[in-house]
Amino acid sequence: MSKTSLRLALLGGSAAVALLAAPLAASAQTVTAMPSGGVAAATQARQSLPPLPEVDIPYTRFVLDNGLTVIVHEDHKAPIVAVNVWYHVGSKNEPTGRSGFAHLFEHLMFNGSENFNTDFFKGVEVLGATDLNGTTNNDRTNYFQNVPTSALDSILWLESDRMGHFVGAISQERLDEQRGVVQNEKRQGETAPYGRVWNAITYATYPDDHPYGHTVIGEMADLDAASVEDVQDWFRTYYGPANAVLVLAGDITPEQAREKAQLYFGDIPSGPPVTQPQRMIAPMVGEQREVMYDRVGEPRLYKVWNVPPGGEADTDYLNLLGTVMSSGRNSRLYKRLVFDDQIATSVFAGVSDGAIGSQFLVIVTAKPGQDLAAIEAIVDEEMTRLLRDGPTAVELERARSSVGGEYVRGLERIGGFGGKSDRLAESQVFHGDPGHWRTTYQRILTATPANLTAAGRTWLGDGSYALEVRPFPEYSVAATGADRSAMPEPGAAPLAAFPDFERFTLSNGLKVVFAPRSGVPTVAMNLVVDAGSSVDPAGKFGIAALAPAVMTNGTDDLDALAISDRLQILGATLSAGSAVDYTNVSMTAIESRLEPSLALYADVILNPAFRPADFQRSQSQQVSGIQQSNRNPGAIANRVLAASVYGPQSPYGRPSSGNETSVQSLTPADAEAFHDTWFRPDNATLIVVGDTTQAELQPMLERAFADWEAPATPLQTRTAVAPAAASATPRILIVDRAGPQSTITAGRLAPALNPAEEAVFDTMNTALGGSFISRINMNLREDKGWSYGAGSGIRNARGERIFLVSTGVQSDKTAESLAEIDRELTEVVTTRPLTEAELAEARSGLVLGRAGGWETNAAVVGDLTQMVVYGLPEDYFDAYAAGVNGTTVESAAAAARTIVADGPTTWVIVGDRATIEPRIRALNLGEVTVVDTQGNPVP
């Protein structure tokens, strides 16, 4: 494939696909007369054949006063003249959001100019023009045709008219017409076999901000966005004489050319100065890979490296190296893949050159059913061998004759791709010298195997992209399908049964709740200690959270690393934590390794070492978490709300993790004291769920916890949590935090958990704010679009609990969101109670979701933990579904009056005070106070 043809193929249109296919086929059919063999054979071949000729394209160059460069080549063998106009503008010059402009403009310039305001072809074809076309690539736009000498003035008049008199002919109608043509060209190209390949290569091998980082044909959205004014500005910037080259080759003299160029082009304004990117090779590191499925009959492999711009020595040598690899039946890849192994139908290797950077490509089309991975392995093997040993003299001579012969044959034509006018124009536009093509030709004549090897080793190593195009299977569809007129009504679903569980007590008094579950050989355990942050001593807030974290970091016999290693060997997991009402240590174990896992579990629970280093590490992590929460709007809102509703001295009103000052003052002795006080078998319950039996489990537990005995001293008396005093009037607390979002949390105290009522409360809340389709979320997210999500819920606690609503909203809709939440909470207990339809959706989701909710052992452990901590009856989860299904409009309304009542007693908004405060005050929802992140009033 010629470099010009491949460069055009990269445009991606249907014509480009044809250009791609033809050279691939041609390379597969090339026959060489050069004998094969070693250096001696090559020497003999070179002695028996004359060298390639020294060729030239004589030219005269001059520049008009307006900046137009004119190049003239005389060739009087036929009474025709090639007229070739190159503009130094391509897709690389397009700004962000305007991809495809250069190509769109190429089409527009065939639509007529101010003084020939009709289709350009109507004026040219009657002149007897041949080799007529226009093309665009990354770097340039060109228009070319050969015309009889007698029609030269006519074609120069037409070309100069669209260069200097075009803006007035640009109309909305023509822009829309050619925009549609280009978009159809894009669709046609991308739906053709392998048509999406060049898009993939472009996006994978160039960054977005690189001039080559978008396709020549552009994106649909950018084409749609083009206005008449945009197009006019584009023309004024890039299509002036100073950014153009005119080549006249054929039956003309330099004197005639100068006279005619001055006459037709000399009065056109030069245009503004233009900035042109120069050498910009996009580096790639490592190997990038993609797989594409397409409606093709044969798999195809593409491998791509980014290499220097066209015209550089290494680029010319790489093109010769590609010819060694793929051109002719004796070439490395063709012989191996097509001729010998017969697993491919065509191969290509070579350079697609560009003005600021090029690409070396290897393209192999496989036979149907062949493995592209095996083909790529052969490509890599052959390339490695070639770059290690270099090409033979015979291989280089074949490549030299093939590529050099293409240059020589191109000189037969005055116009068209690869013709003399094309060579002159390309050399001038990209290298500033019409004769620069001779530099490349001389390199072809004088290249050595060492030149090719060095270039290949430099550029074809690290940093590649591989694309596999695989045939998309021919799928079929059934002749008939489901009735789509209505969704089928679900049938009666069986109620999910909570797993059966047993209770027993170890000899040391430790209570055990055990639920056997077979199917997966795992066991989940959770030791629940009846003490959480509610028992933190004054001045030592946060110790209930810190002590269990330190426990998992070391025992008397094992340090943190040894525990980690033991867990990995056992395939077990270990964690610990605390809440307001309890502390827990959890483990999951493989059933076959349950006994040694229990031994480690018991060691952590019974023998924590509380080493200073382990303590300080966990202490630092807890402080870091507190610092993070002080910057998190959601955590701030929750903390301020709890302190306001419960009171800052209540265990439920202060953070269970403590604060920075209290945690930093804690010592290992404090953690050890917490453990010694509360970790005792008569103050704990062990929950076990998994693939074992009580007969197997109980003896293991007796052995593991044999040394754990209840102290003789009675359990420490706890101070009862005093009920919170409800605020007499609603209050609104604003925490100033600049940003585009506000976090809203509002709550009030609700009655303590009553198992007989909880199912009805859950059903009511699910419909109000507990699911995606709940009233509150549908209002703020789906209807208004102010929030990503909004909802409500009831937090568990021993005693009175918080009912709350929370959401994050865009800052400029903060006050409106408060008003909508207040309206929803007011109407649900007054004018718009929940409907039967809403409750039916809530009932269905809650009941049918139970089965999935108990899928894992950990989920069952979680619900049994809730049962233990909050004293739920043993049949609570079995009766839950019946309670949900029994919820009526009347009972839901009663639940709303109990839970929602007359609305939140406290609203907390974390947001930009300057923006939100005036409008919030105007709502008159309650007294407004600005507080800090701890809830303390600020001015």
Q: Is 70 exceeded by the pLDDT of residue 39? A: no
**Are 70 and 246 spatial neighbours (Cβ–Cβ below 8 Å)?**
yes
Half-sphere exposure of 777 (CA within 13 A, CB side): 16
Q: What is the pLDDT of residue 176?
A: 81
200-204, 397-401, 921-925: least confident range: 397-401
Computed over its alpha carbons, how large is the radius of gyration of the chain? 40
- According to the per-residue pLDDT averaged within each range, which of 305-309, 339-343, 408-412 is highest? 305-309
Q: d(Cα 26, Cα 9) in Å, to the nearest integer?
A: 15
Q: d(Cα 177, Cα 886) in Å, to the nearest integer?
A: 65
Q: Is 50 exceeded by the pLDDT of residue 36? A: no
Spatial CA neighbour of 768 closest among 755, 760, 759, 777: 777
Q: d(Cα 927, Cα 909) in Å, to the nearest integer?
A: 13
Note the pLDDT tens digit of each residue in 619-678: 999 999 999 999 899 999 999 999 999 998 899 999 999 999 999 999 999 999 999 999
101-110, 160-169, 381-390, 925-934: least confident range: 101-110
Q: d(Cα 175, Cα 109) in Å, to the nearest integer?
A: 11
Q: d(Cα 319, Cα 879) in Å, to the nearest integer?
A: 79
Q: Is 80 exceeded by the pLDDT of residue 45? A: no
Regarding predicted confidence, which is higher, 878 or 3? 878
Spatial CA neighbour of 412 closest among 650, 249, 186, 193: 249
Q: d(Cα 375, Cα 383) in Å, to the nearest integer?
A: 12
Note the pLDDT tens digit of each residue in 17-26: 222 332 333 2
**Are 146 and 414 spatial neighbours (Cβ–Cβ below 8 Å)?**
yes
Q: Is 60 exceeded by the pLDDT of residue 604? A: yes
Q: Which two structure tokens, joined as six digits, stand for 559?
A: 């340090």
**Are 618 and 550 spatial neighbours (Cβ–Cβ below 8 Å)?**
yes
Q: What is the pLDDT of residue 494?
A: 65
Distance from chain centroid for Cα 679: 48
- Tokens 């052959």, residue located: 382
Half-sphere exposure of 850 (CA within 13 A, CB side): 23
Distance from chain centroid for Cα 187: 25
Q: Is 90 exceeded by the pLDDT of residue 186? A: no
**Are 582 and 617 spatial neighbours (Cβ–Cβ below 8 Å)?**
no
Share of the chain above pLDDT 70, in %: 94
Q: Average pLDDT in the 306-323 region?
A: 96
* CB-based burial label for 50 (10 Å; 0-12, 13-18, 19+): exposed
Q: What is the pLDDT of residue 50?
A: 81
Q: d(Cα 864, Cα 688) in Å, to the nearest integer?
A: 9
Element (H, E) at 801: strand 801-810
Edge-to-edge, what's the strand order for the sheet holding 684-690? Answer: 502-505, 511-516, 684-690, 522-529, 583-590, 573-578
| Helix (H/G/I), strand (E/B), else coil: 787 | strand
Note the pLDDT tens digit of each residue in 752-768: 999 999 999 999 999 99
Q: What is the pLDDT of residue 34?
A: 34
Q: What is the pLDDT of residue 88?
A: 95
Q: Average pLDDT in the 520-540 region?
A: 95
Q: d(Cα 444, Cα 510) in Å, to the nearest integer?
A: 90
Average pLDDT, the chain: 90
- Could you tell me the pLDDT band of residue 99, with boundaries at 50, 70 and 90? confident
Distance from chain centroid for Cα 117: 47
Q: d(Cα 556, Cα 553) in Å, to the nearest integer?
A: 11
List strand residue ranges (DSSP E) for 811-869, in order: none
Note the pLDDT tens digit of each residue in 694-722: 999 999 999 999 999 999 899 987 776 66
Q: d(Cα 453, Cα 458) in Å, to the nearest integer?
A: 9
Q: Is 50 exceeded by the pLDDT of residue 14? A: no
Note the pLDDT tens digit of each residue in 857-908: 999 999 999 999 999 999 999 899 999 999 999 999 999 999 999 999 999 9
Helices within 577-716 (DSSP H only): 594-606, 612-629, 633-646, 660-664, 668-678, 694-704
Its sign, for the CA torsion 16, 18, 21, 23, is negative
Q: Is 80 exceeded by the pLDDT of residue 724? A: no
Note the pLDDT tens digit of each residue in 47-85: 567 888 889 999 999 999 999 999 999 999 889 999 999
Q: d(Cα 240, Cα 164) in Å, to the nearest integer?
A: 7
Q: d(Cα 466, Cα 593) in Å, to the nearest integer?
A: 46
- Could you tell me the pLDDT band of residue 111, with boundaries at 50, 70 and 90? confident
- Could you tell me the pLDDT band of residue 183, with boundaries at 50, 70 and 90? confident
- Could you tell me the pLDDT band of residue 122, with boundaries at 50, 70 and 90? confident
90-104, 568-582, 862-876: least confident range: 90-104
